[in-house]
Structure 1
Amino acid sequence: MTAPPPVRPPAEPATEKATGTPGRKPPSRLLAPLRQTGQLFALALAVARAIFRRPFQVREFIEQFWFVASVTILPAALVSIPFGAVIALQVGSLTEQLGAQSFTGGASVLAVIQQASPLIVALLIAGAAGSAICADLGSRKIREELDAMEVMGVSPVQRLVVPRVLATMFVAVLLNGLVSVVGTLGGYFFNVIMQGGTPGAYLASFSALAQLPDLYVGELKALIFGFIAGIVAAYRGLNPRGGPKGVGDAVNQSVVITFMLLFAVNMVLTAIYLQIVPPKGG
């Protein structure tokens, strides 16, 4: 008697071949943004803890501080002039229509100090220094330098990320003062020269409406914005996808993500400040 032919198992469905595991669906892409957000916050907490650990990389911090300052100080000073001029011209035209020209200086200076100056500094740091930080860390990652550091027991976060984040924070605070002064002078010049404003009224309205907490909140915003720019650049640099092309994509993503976070955080900080600190004379 001849043996019966062997029974062949049924063919696997296409979905099972694609996933490699029968009956399991592929992971949803909707969870990827949540996972990346959690990883970003985890890196921020790790950097915050590593700041107070020893040894501190003083030389690396000084080098990164000088690099960030050198690539942002001149653009920040140049960009602050037209920003201050535009704000002063716009506010001056509105106050002239309302018959309140005496408040032009105070309104324009407050807008520069509280809103324009921290955002200008943070955007320049994210675009110039943050992109370079992301590219540097990404190139180290694809060359497996960071893996070699972990094998030797050296933390890449403490050795590389912390000095860069601190550099962006300190440079942001210092540049914020420079941009505030230059922007205020630019607004003063254009208001007095082009709109026929009086220097005394400009300065009197500024001293009547402005107060020290306005300067403090500008510096606090600059500090937070510098931290955000450094953290996002470091996160995208530590997690590139693919080879050199992935590093380039990570640089673009770091700049875009930083811009979105800056405007959202600025709105929250402004709302909190206006609720806590009453206006001068209120």
Structure 2
Amino acid sequence: MAVGGRDRVTGYLVRRSTDVFGRVGDMSVIALEGFRRTWDVRTWFWEYIQQCWFLARVTSLPVLLVSLPLGATVALQVGQLAWQLGASSATGGAVVVGLVREVAPMASALLIAGAGGSAMTSDIGARNIRDELAAMEVMAVNPIHRLVTPRLWAASTVAVLLVPLVIVAGAGGGYFFNVVIQGVTPGAYFDGAVSLLVTSDLLVTLFKAWIFGFIAAIMSCYFGMTCQTSPVGVGRAVNQSTVVTFMLVFAVNYVITMIYFLAYPPRPM
């Protein structure tokens, strides 16, 4: 019995590992095939414009509503400690550095995945269960080139464009708490906000947002194109794409941040 139980467990682990590696391979194929036709801009440019407009429309207001209280919350937590240490003017620097380095790309990616990515998955999944993807293949139209490529570039573009919005809104929330409530002068707030930042911080943040946008679009398109051909399958694909995107974004963010801090250690005040 013990040997049979171990064999069943081993077989289950082998099947699960094979399934996982198969899914990773399918994701890689869709991503690479989507990039392969990037040069042929004429075939996907208008779809790209439509997807950019759609993503900007569904994410702009939510990202503002998230960033304002987020900046105020960071200022509240950091400001109380800084006030006890007699360095309340340093709150602006802590808030803006945190927004630029970590909060802005993460908030942008999560909004793209949660609001835009779920809509992408449901749209492509609906096309899948109506056999539109198969019909495109019959008509010699590659569905990956037609649907995935513009969504990859639209998600990455809008993710980058949301970063300044997050930074400005979050800094505004921190300004309200630090200046209006705590009484710190505006000059001290903004001087501290820019004293610790360097150009590479913003460049790495934009690069993170760009990568995260690609991840969100790839996961959304993959789960939409491989979902079960039923409404329940589409719903499960939306849930799976959002969860997997969040996990990958946090993992990739950790790797990029670690490499960046090793290459460019933070400078002292």
TM-score (norm 2): 0.90
Q: How does 1:1-282 map to 2 (within 5 A)?
A: 28-53=15-40, 55-280=42-267
Tell me if structure 1 keeps the 8 A contact 2:128–2:229.
Answer: no
Deviation at 1:36, TM superposition (A): 0.8
Separation in structure 1 between the aligned mates of residue 120 and residue 203 of structure 2, nearest angstrom = 28
Tell me if structure 2 keeps the 8 A contact 1:141–1:238.
Answer: yes
Tell me if structure 1 keeps the 8 A contact 2:152–2:218.
Answer: yes
User: In structure 1, the residue corresponding to 2:152 is in which secondary structure?
Assistant: helix
Structure 1 stretches of 5 or more lacking a match?
A: 1-23
Separation in structure 2 between the aligned mates of residue 26 and residue 167 of structure 1, nearest angstrom = 38
Separation in structure 1 between the aligned mates of residue 167 and residue 14 of structure 2, nearest angstrom = 49
Tell me if structure 2 keeps the 8 A contact 1:134–1:234.
Answer: yes
User: In structure 1, the residue corresponding to 2:236 is in which secondary structure?
Assistant: helix
Tell me if structure 2 keeps the 8 A contact 1:125–1:229.
Answer: yes
User: In structure 2, the residue corresponding to 1:28 is in which secondary structure?
Assistant: helix
Give me the CA root mean square deviation: 2.0
Tell me which amino acid in the other structure corresponds to 1:235: Y
Separation in structure 1 between the aligned mates of residue 164 and residue 251 of structure 2, nearest angstrom = 22
User: In structure 2, the residue corresponding to 1:196 is in which secondary structure?
Assistant: coil
Tell me which amino acid in the other structure corresponds to 1:78: L
217 and 26 in structure 1: CA distance in 2 versus 1, 3 angstrom threshold: closer
209 and 227 in structure 1: CA distance in 2 versus 1, 3 angstrom threshold: same
Tell me which amino acid in the other structure corresponds to 2:174: G
Deviation at 1:128, TM superposition (A): 1.0
After alignment, is 178-187 or 46-55 more displaced? Answer: 46-55
Tell me the equivalent position of 1:16.
none
Tell me if structure 2 keeps the 8 A contact 1:172–1:226.
Answer: yes
Deviation at 1:26, TM superposition (A): 12
Tell me if structure 2 keeps the 8 A contact 1:210–1:280.
Answer: no
Deviation at 1:279, TM superposition (A): 2.5
Deviation at 1:145, TM superposition (A): 1.0
TM-score (norm 1): 0.86
Separation in structure 1 between the aligned mates of residue 13 and residue 44 of structure 2, nearest angstrom = 44
> Whose radius of gyration is greater, 1 or 2?
1
Separation in structure 1 between the aligned mates of residue 235 and residue 69 of structure 2, nearest angstrom = 31
User: In structure 1, the residue corresponding to 2:15 is in which secondary structure?
Assistant: coil
26 and 202 in structure 1: CA distance in 2 versus 1, 3 angstrom threshold: closer
User: In structure 1, the residue corresponding to 2:266 is in which secondary structure?
Assistant: coil
Separation in structure 2 between the aligned mates of residue 242 and residue 148 of structure 1, nearest angstrom = 15
118 and 154 in structure 1: CA distance in 2 versus 1, 3 angstrom threshold: same
Q: Give the fraction of aligned pairs with identical amino acids, expressed as a percent.
A: 50
33 and 25 in structure 1: CA distance in 2 versus 1, 3 angstrom threshold: closer
User: In structure 1, the residue corresponding to 2:137 is in which secondary structure?
Assistant: helix
Tell me which amino acid in the other structure corresponds to 2:40: R
Structure 2 stretches of 5 or more lacking a match?
A: 1-10
Tell me if structure 2 keeps the 8 A contact 1:89–1:195.
Answer: no
Separation in structure 2 between the aligned mates of residue 25 and residue 38 of structure 1, nearest angstrom = 20
Separation in structure 1 between the aligned mates of residue 181 and residue 190 of structure 2, nearest angstrom = 17
Separation in structure 2 between the aligned mates of residue 135 and residue 76 of structure 1, nearest angstrom = 21
